[in-house]
Chains A and B, each alone.
Chain A
Amino acid sequence: MFIDFFYTLKNAGVPVSPTAFLTLHKALGKGLVHSLDDFYVTARSVLVKSERYFDLFDQVFAHHFEGAELPDAEGVEVDEMARALLEEWLKDPKLLANALDVDESELSDLTPEALIEYFKERLKEQTEAHHGGNKWIGTGGTSPVGHSGYHPGGMRVGGVSRNKSAVKVAMDRRYKDYSLEGPLTPSMMGEALKRLRNMVPAGPKDRVNLDETLYQTMKNAGEIEIIFERSLKDRLKVILAIDNGGWSMDPYIPMIQTLFNYARAQFKEIKTFFFHNTVYDYIHEDPARYKKPVKVSDMARLDPETRLIMVGDASMAPYELMTADGSIHIEERSGRASLEQLRFLSETFPHSVWLNPVPERMWHYTQTISMIRRIFPMFELSIDGLEGAVARLMEKY
């Protein structure tokens, strides 16, 4: 019963488990459900475990029982695309304005929200990708803004850039290929990170050390002597710096999210920063890399015992790493090459590693990976790599 409903939910992207489905049947079997309303409430509380999926559930429910239109997966993508366009716009308004055949000044009056709306409209007009045409979304066409071949500062509408020809991603499902997730499940990741703990006594002496108390009491010939001690607390500080920029990291986003979630749960004190490709003068506290810049040189003030975990594919054009003005962001022109900044970070925090989602066997194909490896001990973002990284971070100097 309702097996179709279950699979429609699953296909729509609500994480439903067979166990929960059986529980739903148990509820039905108990005669608790008398109406469609009852069924709605029961099914939702049993099957859906996060409010994030409530909306999706509602839509699937309406579709299944009332024949409403199914949620359009493309709607989500249009949103994503529009956001990406906004990012491009912020980087280089002129190029994007040209690409859209509008006057730059016309768009620059709009607020970011209005811009997003505008981009969405434009994206909807484009219902299918035109490959080789002269419209603006597509691959390998005559358009000035296709994705192969342009400098990263230029316009790239989707496309995975990992030393391979850009694959069309604009209107495709982006995360369909989950093969990368295979070996690394969330719980395995949690397990690996768990080793990264450093228990030290902290706080007031408010815990009774029983063994010691008994020993001292015996020594006192039975006169009770209670020994207190500090309880153990994890005082380890961790900085997690994530490359969330550009499209090259996109395939690894689910994996990194998992890592991030687990890191959150494991440590009391964790700072997260974001960067694009590599680190220049600033590193950012907000994922948009816009609002909260932190000067890299200021990091010297942090506790050198802090564990620094960099996550990124370390793949970019060599000059981005080497030259003094390599940053694709115009405002970062301190004259220090990114390579120097990375070296500075690794010297500031002796306990540091670089986690790379790119499989290790591919590393020597990319020049910048080898260069960064010389600065940071690099580990593959896999279960083995993670364990190696944790072992490295806990080494004593």
Chain B
Amino acid sequence: MDHTPSRFTGATRYVLDPELAGIVNISMALEMPLLLKGEPGTGKTMLAHAIAESLGMPLIVLNVKSSMKLVEALYQYDTLTRLNDSRFGDSVRNVSNIEEYIKMGKIGQAFTSDTRSVLLIDEIDKADTDFQDDMLDVLDQMEFDIIEIDKVVKTVHRPVIIITSNAKKDLSDPFLGRCNFHHIAFPDPKMMRKIVDVHFSGLDENLMESAIAAFYKLRELEAVEKKPATRELINWIRALRSDPDFKPKKLLKGEVPFLGVLFKKSGDYQRATEFTNRRKLF
């Protein structure tokens, strides 16, 4: 396999599963958006960062909000500044030229960027279905209209588009039809070791093994509102490392310090404490 820079092969802080690498490369070649689903903490957002890093492209992130309208993601017409300028007339902008008051939104920036960029549309499921369908039209055509000045913005360089969704329910059919799809499963312990390794080089073998074992044990805990994910594990290991009194042996005995790093909802925290206390008895 050739390693031209246009192929995605992984990044410094991201452990890439070869299957996912294949999917990313296919989507780039087909110029189709890639829709990623999966549990929180499986690295959906990180993937976009990793692609941007490894291909040396700028990353543009559109964080979708529930009240968002598509036009906000495309461009913004700053009417107030214009009104202000027309009243006081002390700016360098030309008031009669509306174009000077048009600011590009995130999608607009990705379209007009001088180099090819990675556009991450994060948590698309937050917005309503209209937003999603309208956005896909824009991404499909790779152009949009600025109504105020009747100008069509076309892409200079087609961005690499990554869309993430946490939703349990599926997105609409027309939306899915235009994307490639991948579901990132929660990493298995083997993969997790690699991930931890990337974040903490030269971590004590003992600490890593027992921390990961304890982590997967705690994930098995039932009736937990939010299971600890990769992000929590990494923070937890960071906490364990910085505690001078901590010995990996303690974990095996069922003493789990810093539970609050792993479980962030108070109900979950209580359950986890009970669980670890009980284990000590055996």
Q: Which residues of A contact B (CB under 8 A)?
A: 17, 19-20, 23, 26-27, 30, 32, 37-38, 41-42, 45-46, 48-51, 54, 186-187, 190, 208, 210, 213-214, 217, 222-224, 226, 231, 233, 261, 264-266
In the complex, given contacts A23-B32, A30-B30, A266-B128, what are 7 additional A-B residue pairs having Cβ atoms less than 8 angstroms apart? A41-B23, A42-B22, A49-B170, A210-B79, A214-B83, A217-B87, A224-B83
| CA distance in complex: A54, B34 (Å) | 16
**Residues from 51 to 106 in B contacting A, C-beta threshold 8 Å:** 67, 79-80, 83-84, 87
Specify which of A42, A226, A233 is in contact with B26 (CB 8 Å cutoff): A42
Count of CB-CB pairs between chains A and B under 8 Å = 72
Q: Across the two chains, which residue of chain A brings its CB closest to B23?
A: A45
Is A217 a contact partner of B83 (Cβ separation < 8 A)?
yes
Is B180 a contact partner of A46 (Cβ separation < 8 A)?
yes
B153 contacts the other chain (Cβ, under 8 Å)?
Answer: no
| CA distance in complex: A187, B128 (Å) | 14
Contacts A23-B32, A190-B129, A265-B129: A231 and B67 contacting too (C-beta < 8 A)?
yes
Q: Please tell me which stretch of B111-119, B171-179, B242-250, B266-274 contacts chain A, meaning at least 4 of its Cβ atoms lie within 8 angstroms of it.
A: B171-179
Is B181 a contact partner of A32 (Cβ separation < 8 A)?
no
Is A213 a contact partner of B83 (Cβ separation < 8 A)?
yes
Question: How many B residues, CB 8 Å from partner?
Answer: 31
| CA distance in complex: A52, B75 (Å) | 36
Residues of B close to A45: CB separation below 8 A? 23, 26-27, 34, 180-182
| CA distance in complex: A371, B183 (Å) | 49
Q: Across the two chains, which residue of chain A brings its CB closest to B67?
A: A231
Main secondary structure of the interface of B (DSSP, over half): helix
| CA distance in complex: A174, B107 (Å) | 46
**For A30, A45, A231, which residue has the most chain B Cβ atoms within 10 angstroms?**
A45
Q: Across the two chains, which residue of chain B brings its CB closest to A38?
A: B22
Contacts A23-B32, A41-B23, A41-B26: A50 and B181 contacting too (C-beta < 8 A)?
yes
Contacts A19-B177, A261-B169: A51 and B129 contacting too (C-beta < 8 A)?
no
| CA distance in complex: A23, B29 (Å) | 11
B161 to chain A: closest CB distance in Å?
14
Specify which of A46, A54, A224 is in contact with B87 (CB 8 Å cutoff): A224
A87 to chain B: closest CB distance in Å?
23
| CA distance in complex: A37, B26 (Å) | 13
Is B177 a contact partner of A27 (Cβ separation < 8 A)?
no
Is B173 a contact partner of A27 (Cβ separation < 8 A)?
no
| CA distance in complex: A334, B179 (Å) | 54
Is B83 a contact partner of A32 (Cβ separation < 8 A)?
no
Residues of B close to A187: CB separation below 8 A? 172
Q: Across the two chains, which residue of chain A brings its CB closest to B179?
A: A49
Specify which of B26, B79, B173 is in contact with A46 (CB 8 Å cutoff): B26
Specify which of A17, A26, A38 is in contact with B30 (CB 8 Å cutoff): A26
B150 contacts the other chain (Cβ, under 8 Å)?
Answer: no
Is B29 a contact partner of A27 (Cβ separation < 8 A)?
yes
Is A51 a contact partner of B37 (Cβ separation < 8 A)?
yes
26 A-B contacts, Cβ less than 8 Å apart?
A17-B177, A19-B177, A20-B177, A23-B30, A26-B30, A27-B29, A30-B29, A32-B29, A41-B23, A45-B180, A46-B30, A48-B181, A49-B176, A49-B177, A49-B179, A49-B181, A51-B37, A186-B172, A210-B79, A213-B83, A214-B83, A222-B87, A224-B83, A224-B87, A231-B67, A266-B128
